[in-house]
Amino acid sequence: MNPTTERRQFLQFAAGCGLSFLIPGMDLHAAAKRGTERHKSLVLVWLDGGPSQLETWDPHPGSLVGGPTRAIQTVVPGVEIAQDFPRIAEQLQHLSIVRSLVSKEGDHARGAYAVKTGYRPDPVLRHPSLGAIMAHEIPNPDLEIPQIISLGHNQWPSRGGYLGNQYDAFQVRGYGREAARREAKDARLERRLDNLKVLTQSFANGRQATVAGTLHDEHVRTVITMLNSEHVQAFQIDDEPTALRSAYGDSEFGKACLVARRLIEVGVTVVEVSLSGFDTHERNFSQVTNLATQLDPGLAALVADLVARDLWESTVVLCLGEFGRTPKINRKEGRDHWPTGFSCLVGGGGLRGSAVVGATDPTGRESEPQDPATVADLYATILRAAGIDPAHQVITPIGRPMKFSEGTPIKELST
């Protein structure tokens, strides 16, 4: 299809869906800020607590396991998702659903580790997260803020593991004008830095090795560089049009999704956006419905915005949590931990949209899904799309050779 025709059709679709912030008059080619040869980036939308696949991307209405959740049709013929996500349903041609993810970890901390890294926890080795690998392999040398940034409250932000602490996610919890106003020339900040220098030197006496291990000096330099950089303006969303901010939703999660788009524009390699509250052992259905009021507009607007700004083909968007929820509904109208046959949304970065991988049993009798895919398989797919060899071996600090991923790319997601 001719690029001009494709863009025209997308804008017509956006208008029909009420996404007026994508209509001409806006800067729809903000990707130019990153140059014509844009490296691949990742936005990880992390649903903390383990989201129920049955109330999100894999509903089974009217079945033994479906509960009261109803399904709605998406723009992809024959593909339905839960009723609380109408905006995401309108964007599903850009995304694919993996409904058969499997993990061997059903504990929150261990499950988060396994899903963030693609490996089970190891007592003698800490693996890097998917984001850390991408930041390590495709860094942006012109960037004056960190390569990997975590937005919102996140119990288990991405870690550098054996690649080094410099690839730990830089955590930011405030957005807007005040977050961007602080400058290193400010007299108050100068006094604080002077005081910090005195304390640091005092603590470092006789403890050089300990101080070096904390990366304290590197973190201070990073913050000062950020405060002096124009790139820090990416955290300021007040100058965005009112219609666009409204489309993302008036929530901290929605604001974080908008900040994520701005960070991708300036060249950040990896952005994590977290939404907490999915540990739904009780009141599962009402809790997910409530969380959907934030997730649905925030994620849908992020996808539409990236597409409109010509950033979609260079940006992978992945949405998942540490596991899913049981087909069985417990006595408290909740669902418990279920690392077998949970779901994710993934798209962009050259991956195929509109695909559905795997299936789960609506009767609940079969615990194993059809066409199971491991988290390692998913990450091998994303790494390959980003131009990174998933089988590449790194010699860890303890002399152990490790592949970035032990998985096999999922063919249904490859273009």
Instruction: Give the model confidence (pLDDT) of 293-335 as tens digits.
Output: 999 999 999 999 999 999 999 999 999 999 999 999 999 999 9
Is the pLDDT at 13 greater than 70? The verdict is: no
Is the pLDDT at 11 greater than 60? The verdict is: no
Of 5-14, 189-198, 227-236, 346-355, minimum mean pLDDT range: 5-14
DSSP letters of 390-406? Answer: TT-EEE-TTS-EEES--
Write the burial class of residue 221 (CB in 10 Å: 0-12 exposed, 13-18 middle, 19+ buried).
exposed
Query: How high is the pLDDT of residue 340?
Result: 95
Q: What is the mean pLDDT of residues 341-365?
A: 97
Question: Under a CB-based contact definition with an 8 Å cutoff, are residues 315 and 41 in contact?
Answer: yes
Nearest to 145 by CA among 64, 205, 219, 48: 219
Distance CA 242, CA 236 (A): 14
Residues in the chain: 415
Is the pLDDT at 190 greater than 70? The verdict is: no
Q: What is the mean pLDDT of residues 98-107?
A: 98
For the chain, domain boundaries: 27-175+238-358+371-399, 177-236
Query: 27-175+238-358+371-399 in CATH: which number?
Result: 3.40.720.10
Q: What is the pLDDT of residues 43-101, one digit of tens each?
A: 999 999 999 999 999 999 999 999 999 999 999 999 999 999 999 999 999 999 999 99
Q: How confident is the model at residue 188 (pLDDT cuts 50, 70, 90)?
A: low
Q: How confident is the model at residue 354 (pLDDT cuts 50, 70, 90)?
A: very high
Query: How high is the pLDDT of residue 216?
Result: 59
**Paired tokens of 218:** 């590197």
Nearby residues of 176 by Cβ (< 8 Å), 6 or more positions away:
235, 236, 237, 238, 255
Region of 354 (left: φ > 0; alpha: ψ -120 to 50; beta: rest) is left
Q: What is the mean pLDDT of residues 162-175?
A: 89
CA 388 to chain centre: 18
Query: How many Å is the maximal CA-CA distance in the chain?
Result: 68
Is the pLDDT at 196 greater than 50? The verdict is: yes
Write the burial class of residue 112 (CB in 10 Å: 0-12 exposed, 13-18 middle, 19+ buried).
buried
Query: How high is the pLDDT of residue 211?
Result: 56
Question: Under a CB-based contact definition with an 8 Å cutoff, are residues 85 and 356 in contact?
Answer: no
Between strands 337-338 and 373-374, the pairing is: unpaired
Q: What is the mean pLDDT of residues 121-137?
A: 97
Is the pLDDT at 205 greater than 80? The verdict is: no
Q: How confident is the model at residue 35 (pLDDT cuts 50, 70, 90)?
A: low
Query: How high is the pLDDT of residue 232?
Result: 84
Query: How high is the pLDDT of residue 230?
Result: 78
Nearest to 57 by CA among 408, 411, 381, 341: 341
Question: Under a CB-based contact definition with an 8 Å cutoff, are residues 117 and 133 in contact?
Answer: no
The overall average pLDDT reported for the chain is: 87
Of 20-24, 115-119, 303-307, minimum mean pLDDT range: 20-24
Q: What is the pLDDT of residues 223-264, one digit of tens each?
A: 666 666 778 889 999 999 999 999 999 999 999 999 999 999
Entry pTM: 0.85
Q: What is the pLDDT of residues 170-184, one digit of tens each?
A: 999 776 544 444 433
Query: How high is the pLDDT of residue 156?
Result: 92
Residue with tokens 């009420």: 18
Question: Under a CB-based contact definition with an 8 Å cutoff, are residues 224 and 193 in contact?
Answer: yes
Across-strand partners of 316?
A: 42, 348
Region of 192 (left: φ > 0; alpha: ψ -120 to 50; beta: rest) is alpha
Percent of the chain whose pLDDT exceeds 70: 78
**Paired tokens of 352:** 């195929």
Residue with tokens 């679709």: 13
Query: How high is the pLDDT of residue 118?
Result: 98
Query: How high is the pLDDT of residue 19?
Result: 53
Other Cβ atoms less than 10 A from the Cβ of 138: the count is 17
DSSP letters of 247-294? Answer: HH-SSHHHHHHHHHHHHHHHT-SEEEEEEE----SSSHHHHHHHHHHH
Distance CA 308, CA 30 (A): 9
Nearest to 50 by CA among 291, 290, 330, 280: 280
Q: What is the pLDDT of residues 373-387, one digit of tens each?
A: 999 999 999 999 999
